[in-house]
Amino acid sequence: MFERYTEHARRVIFFARYEASQFGAPYIEPEHLLLGVLRERASVYFLVPASLTLDGLRRELEATLPRREKTSTSVDLPLSHKAKRILAYGTEEAEKLQAAHIGPQHLLLGMLREETLASAMLRKHGVELEDLRKKLGHGAHVLAGGAEDPEVLAELRKRFSALVEQLTHEIEPAAVYRLRPRDEETE
């Protein structure tokens, strides 16, 4: 079933299963898929606003969704009907964008097409279906060497600079190892 899914999209589903088990849910719901996408944020970094964080969304969901006793992560949780439709919509979106594989970005598009709590949360943070389609369409043109939209490139540069700034403060200096010359080893 998941042959066309990228490794990142498969990880989204894996994380969604984990999140569903943490909530004690009997099914993987769209909200769990959204949590899975945010756990795999690196693949959708430029598509999801910085205000939409994994911890913040989890707190919102904990206040909204019923909390049951956690289930074992070894239990194979099925997808709910809405989650299945989201995956089907994601496949359609990938085909519309002429993508060979289905990635987390297509799952996001699928989420926005289905009216759920997850889509409402995405919209609340400014993620809209047509805007996301436009970004993905422009991204494909940029990657293909086609027309480069200055607005999209400016946004990419801005977010990349913010990411670099964030990383440089947390990077530890690399350890330096020196090899001793062979004559010193025998002494």
Q: What span, in angstroms and rounded, lies between the C-alpha atoms of 92 and 95? A: 5
CATH of the domain at 11: 1.10.1780.10
User: How many structural domains are present in the chain?
Assistant: 1
Overall pTM surpassing 0.85 (yes/no): no
pLDDT (tens digit, 9 = 90+) per residue, 68-95?
A: 777 666 668 899 999 999 999 999 999 9
Question: Alpha carbon of 174 to those of 135, 169, 180: distances in Å?
Answer: 37, 14, 19
Residue 155 lies in a domain: no
Domain with 105 in it:
7-128
Residue 115 lies in a domain: yes
